[in-house]
Amino acid sequence: MKRLYALIIIASLLLGLATFLSCAPTETEVITEGEFTFTVSKRGDTVIGINVESPGRKPSKLNVTGKNLTFTDMNFDGYPDIRLDSLTPSLGTYECFILRPTIGKFVRSSAFSSLVSPEWDTDNKTVRSKLVSTVYYATDVPAAKSEYEETRADLTWKWINGALTLTEEKGITFYSSGNIYCCYSAVNESGVMVRDPATEEWFPSLEALRSAGYVWDDGTEMPDQ
């Protein structure tokens, strides 16, 4: 019953927000970036649509809802793309749209939108993001906990031939079966990420890992043994 009441309250809040947005006055802001003119429609601080105009191209409109609109060249092609806060900002992702200059339209990029905590390096024309993954394995002993591998890594991406391409990965994997840590790096070779065993470093404990100077720049730690 409590769950039902909670769902009713959430539904009421969402309905109230939708009603508020529909009643709020619409404001427009005109932004010019090079040869492109963008007319951004807002209700309050929420973007509800973007019109795109440019010489020699048909006008287009992007129907989108979001906050904290940012114009930035995400794929380093010299044209402005747009980024909005994700509907799930706690995941550290954004809603990203790439401008297709030949047709003058924005197209959602699932590749950019899936990056966690992305950072754009305009000097090197790369994008960095985070990876946190856990893989569980069944054990032969029913009463035992599942063994697992947890990896945390920094990923480097480049825009190559019209696609976001992973070029480098540096991270640490914790193996619960042996309570050991492996620091590794991998590079893209002909479209395949290849790890170099010669660069791997293995540590028998979390303390040994820390003593070697491996610290995540976001302050997180690997699992305790």
| pLDDT tier for residue 147 given thresholds of 50, 70 and 90 | confident
Tally the C-alpha atoms within 13 A of residue 156's C-alpha that lie toward its C-beta: 14
pLDDT tens per residue across span 52-107: 999 999 999 999 988 999 999 999 999 999 999 987 766 789 999 999 999 999 99
The residues near 102 (Cβ < 8 Å, ≥ 6 apart) are none
What's the pLDDT at 160?
94
Q: Show Cβ contacts of residue 43 under 8 Å, excluding neighbours closer than 6 positions.
A: 21, 24, 25, 26, 27
Q: Please, what's the b/e burial string for 110-138 (b: 16 or more CB within 10 A of its CB; e: otherwise)?
A: ebbbebeebebeeeeebbbbbeeeeeeee
DSSP 3-state of 72: strand
Residue 188 CB burial class (10 angstroms; 0-12, 13-18, ≥19): middle
Are 131 and 116 in contact by the 8 Å Cβ rule? The answer is: yes
- Give residue-wise pLDDT tens across range 11-60: 555 555 555 555 668 899 999 998 999 999 999 889 999 999 999 999 99
pTM, two decimals, is 0.77
14-29 exposure pattern, b = at least 16 Cβ within 10 A, e = fewer: eeeeeeeeeeeeeeee
Between these two residues, 178 and 124, which has the higher pLDDT value? 124
- Mean pLDDT for all residues in the chain: 84
Residue among 145, 62, 143 at smallest CA distance from 96: 62
DSSP letter string over 82-143?
EEEE-SSGGGT-EEEEEEETTTTEEEE-HHHHT-EEEEEETTTTEEEEEEEEEEEE--SSTT
